[in-house]
Amino acid sequence: MDTCKPTPTPIAMGIKLRRDDSTKSVNPTLYKSMVGSLMYLIATHPDIMYAVSLISRFMENPRATHLQIAKRILRYVQETIAYGISYREIDVFKLTRYINSDWAGNSDD
């Protein structure tokens, strides 16, 4: 994936992945390796956390669509390879957080 075409987002908007996807099954060892590497990368790239947590649900029986999303995340990392997090000491710390939960969007249960 060194010479892949980069993408500006880790996952397409509104994507719904299903456990019982009708696409063909893929090599679970390869898929688990990719997801594990992406989980490790979350420490320095928290912007991929949602997408990685979404695909990590399907590690037991990965399908071609799940692998396609994992590869898209890697393409996004290729696009944002120069981005990083810088922590510096400040006197007044203000934590800002955002959340966008879609509890009803889980198609499986």
Query: What is the pTM (predicted TM-score) of this model?
Result: 0.76
- For 84-98, the pLDDT digits (tens) are 777 778 888 888 887
12: nearest Cα among 94, 62, 75: 75
53: nearest Cα among 64, 66, 65: 66
- For 33-47, the pLDDT digits (tens) are 999 999 998 888 888
State both tokens at 13: 């908007």
DSSP 1-57: -TTPPP-SSSS-TT----TT-SSPB--HHHHHHHHHHHHHHTTT-GGGHHHHHHHGG
